[in-house]
Amino acid sequence: MTAMWQESDSTAFSLAKSQAQKSFDEGGIPIGSTLVDKRGEIIGTGHNQRVQLADPTAHGEVSCLRNAGLRGNYADCTIFTTLAPCAMCTGAILLFKISRVVVGEATTYTGDLERLREAGVEVVLVDDAECIELMQRFIAENPETWNEDIGEGV
Amino acid sequence: MTAMWQESDSTAFSLAKSQAQKSFDEGGIPIGSTLVDKRGEIIGTGHNQRVQLADPTAHGEVSCLRNAGLRGNYADCTIFTTLAPCAMCTGAILLFKISRVVVGEATTYTGDLERLREAGVEVVLVDDAECIELMQRFIAENPETWNEDIGEGV
């Protein structure tokens, strides 16, 4: 299987980036996510809410899945995230058998994209300069918040 | 490292079981969880809220971590759960580097306890008959809800 960017991904990816920017503007961690079904319909969006809700589990992807509500299965879905998923979010993708993941960047945080690929998930890495810039700006200003969000707190 | 039940685990494990029963009584999936620090102090409790909140990510352990709120690190914490953690919850335990997990049962759902052990997490499997009975009763009455909660929906 070749992991490829599709023209129809633009809207959902832009929405994920808007969610990241929204979180940043609120003083939160700038990671956004969108869930789309096979027809390209937006099922849910969300962003990291660690700062806003004092909820350590409210990563971008988890918030997106939460906002999307209940669903029988996710086999035909694509989840977009501005940053490579952490172990928890990777686990959520595998649990719900989401078949395709579009990742904005894996430079700031590498995640474990190989684990997804090995499980047969199609992973598209966009390597988006704006995603990288926003994350690195947040981390430079809030290193402690970021470290705690990825389990590296002291 | 030998994984061992400690006398001081009783209170937190009972609390996790109470949370599971509470969820069952509400018509929800009966999985409960407790987070405890190294002094044995209860930091948070929670139960699966898929049915109650229409939130597919609100597994017992995620709800417990959410209710516990923000924390710098979890290295000295034990998380109790009445049922073996799924891929998402296993990922959350690994992300936050929780060092010890007490699991009520792994008969109804096996989870991936080996993944936790391989990562150096101490896993104590209680094999509690009441946990098994409550889960199996719920699943017999609500097979579809259960299947969707573990990504096996059709």
For A144, the closest chain B residue by CA position comes to B72
Per-residue pLDDT band for A145 (boundaries 50, 70, 90) equals very high
**Considering chain A, what is the average pLDDT of its residues?**
97
Is residue A94 within 8 angstroms of chain B, CB to CB?
Answer: yes
Q: Which of A57, A20, A3 is nearest to B62 (CA)?
A: A57
Is residue B84 within 8 angstroms of chain A, CB to CB?
Answer: no
Average pLDDT over residues B107-132: 98
Q: Which of B90, B6, B74, B87 is nearest to B35 (CA)?
A: B74
pLDDT digits (tens, 9 = 90+) for B58-81: 999 999 999 999 999 999 999 999
Is residue A55 within 8 angstroms of chain B, CB to CB?
Answer: yes
Rg (alpha carbons) of chain B, rounded to whole number: 14
Average pLDDT over residues B48-59: 98
**Angle A146-A147-A152 (CA atoms, 0-180°, nearest 5)?**
155
What is the reported pTM? 0.97
ipTM of the complex: 0.97
Which of A57, A72, A153 has its CB closest to that of B62? A57
- The yes-or-no verdict on residue A1 having pLDDT over 90 is no
For B145, the closest chain A residue by CA position comes to A72
| Per annotation, catalytic residue among B7, B41, B61, B141 | B61
B17 token code pair: 């079981």
Q: Please indicate whether, in this complex, the C-beta atoms of A57 and B55 are within 8 angstroms of each other.
A: no
- The yes-or-no verdict on residue A89 having pLDDT over 80 is yes
Is B61 tagged catalytic?
Answer: yes
What distance, in Å, lies between the first and last C-alpha atoms of chain B? 41
pLDDT for the residue numbered B3 = 81
Please give the interface size between A and B, counted as residue pairs whose CB atoms are below 8 Å apart: 96
- The yes-or-no verdict on residue B93 having pLDDT over 80 is yes
Closest-CA distance, A145 to chain B, in angstroms, reads: 9
Closest-CA distance, A93 to chain B, in angstroms, reads: 8
